[in-house]
Amino acid sequence: MLRSALIFFLSFLAVSCNEFQQAVKEAKNEIPPPPKDNYIILLDLSDRILANNQQQVSKDLTVIKNLYGLFKSNLNKKDPSHLYYALNDKLKILIAPQKTTPGKLYEQSGLLRVDLSSEIPEKKSKLVQESEKTFNSILPDVYKQALVSKHTSGYTGADIWKYFNEDLSDDLEKDAQNTLFILTDGYMDFEKTEDRPTLNKRYSSCAQIINNLKSFPDWNVRFDKEDYGLMPVARKFPHLKVVLLQINPNQEWPGEYPLLTRIWSKWFKEMNIDTFSYIKNDNIGEVRESMEKFMQVKLTGKIESATWTAIELPDSNAVVLKTTLLSPKQKSHEGTSLTAEGYKKKDKSARSDSTNTNDKIAAQSLSVKRPIKQKEQVSFGPAY
């Protein structure tokens, strides 16, 4: 009887100790935090933002507001208390390399980020709220400065290829689910036709591929059989998710959108990117639903659409480059101006007799560099 009582007492003591240790662990907040998310928003500020008397700007701004809303909704899904003590998610907005984008905008975009891992737990909730206000304040000015001419010929295209080849790997977090959102029309044209490198049936712009295939009824067969596609990037991005937003295909040929997305899909898969989605330049309700479905997060709260009043733009076709971010060697090589006629974004003619390699496309990519990242030093909160 005494032995049974002793065994019962010891068992009870063990259970009590375990419960006590669990309580201590919770009190110390040692429970592993939820999976970390890293949102990257890449902006194409080429001539696409002129569309419909600059109303593409209001569409972009509204989409970005909804992306920030998704970011917050995802945080709230992980932490219903909205305190975010244990969360370390990140979001930042970047501008794709582009010769006609004023150099100072690449510096200004450094303010368009929120990093919960850099803030103390008690201030994380305030950081999210204040950063949203900062975004809404700075972004309209970014677009205003990006509008450098009223003519399409006054813009070069955004070099998204260069971003994937040189910068994307630095923006990814090893311990997070990385999702890249690209606001673009989908064509990836950034050089004049004769300067676009090609290798066999590989090109540096989607328009080159489309122009080579759209006259053939069996274009889909030729695309696979002859190995058409974009110039490959010598990097792999497994586990990365990509969303192309605001795709705006030409409506003259019915195969434009299917071929356009097929080009991107092949390029993504060659970089080991298996999860991606395409969202057309549609009304914001449709765009929002598509984003929610892809991200598996329901937007909470009402998000007002952004408004934009068209601004008066310069009439000159000559584009003056901002060279503040170039080295002296680059300045002497590139010069300080570029005629817009030499860099028409969507010249639909294509060449297929060039045999340039990846080295040439990297060498001919845009010379404007993004500033050195200070990932852990940018913080909002009390200062705002």
In the chain, the number of structural domains is: 1
In a domain, residue 196? The reply is yes
Residue 19 to residue 39: CA distance in whole angstroms: 38
* Residues whose CB is less than 8 angstroms from the CB of residue 28 and which lie 6 or more positions away in sequence, other chains included: none
* Category of 235 on φ-ψ map: left (φ > 0), alpha (ψ -120 to 50) or beta: beta
In a domain, residue 216? The reply is yes
In a domain, residue 9? The reply is no
> Quick one: pLDDT at residue 365?
43
Residue 223 to residue 329: CA distance in whole angstroms: 41
> Quick one: pLDDT at residue 247?
96
> Quick one: pLDDT at residue 215?
95
> Quick one: pLDDT at residue 218?
96
Partnered with residue 90 across adjacent β-strands are 38, 115
Contact 316, 154 (CB under 8 A): yes
For residues 63-99, b (16+ Cβ closer than 10 Å) or e, as one string?
bbbbbbbbbbbbbbebbeeeebebbbbbbbbbbbbbb
* Residues whose CB is less than 8 angstroms from the CB of residue 320 and which lie 6 or more positions away in sequence, other chains included: 336, 337, 338
> Quick one: pLDDT at residue 333?
35
Q: Give the angle 256-258-260 at the CA atoms, nearest 5°.
A: 65
In a domain, residue 383? The reply is no
In a domain, residue 26? The reply is no
Instruction: pLDDT tens for the chain, 384 residues: list them.
Output: 555 655 555 555 555 556 556 654 554 455 677 899 999 999 999 999 999 999 999 999 999 999 999 999 999 999 999 999 999 999 999 999 988 888 888 888 889 999 999 999 999 999 999 999 999 999 999 999 999 999 988 898 899 999 999 999 999 999 999 999 999 999 987 555 455 567 889 998 899 999 999 999 999 999 999 999 999 998 999 999 999 999 999 999 999 999 999 999 999 999 999 999 999 999 999 999 999 999 999 998 889 999 999 999 987 554 444 333 333 333 333 333 333 333 333 443 433 343 344 444 444 443 444 443 433 333 323 322
> Quick one: pLDDT at residue 189?
73
> Quick one: pLDDT at residue 302?
87
In a domain, residue 298? The reply is yes
In a domain, residue 340? The reply is yes
Helical ranges in 82-226 per DSSP H: 104-108, 124-146, 160-162, 168-171, 206-213, 219-225
Using DSSP's 3-state secondary structure scheme, residue 91 falls into strand
Contact 266, 232 (CB under 8 A): no
> Quick one: pLDDT at residue 375?
36
Q: Measuring CA to CA, how many Å separate 27 from each of 23, 122, 138, 263?
A: 6, 15, 40, 52
> Quick one: pLDDT at residue 99?
87
In a domain, residue 28? The reply is no
* Containing structural domain, residue 181: 37-303+314-364
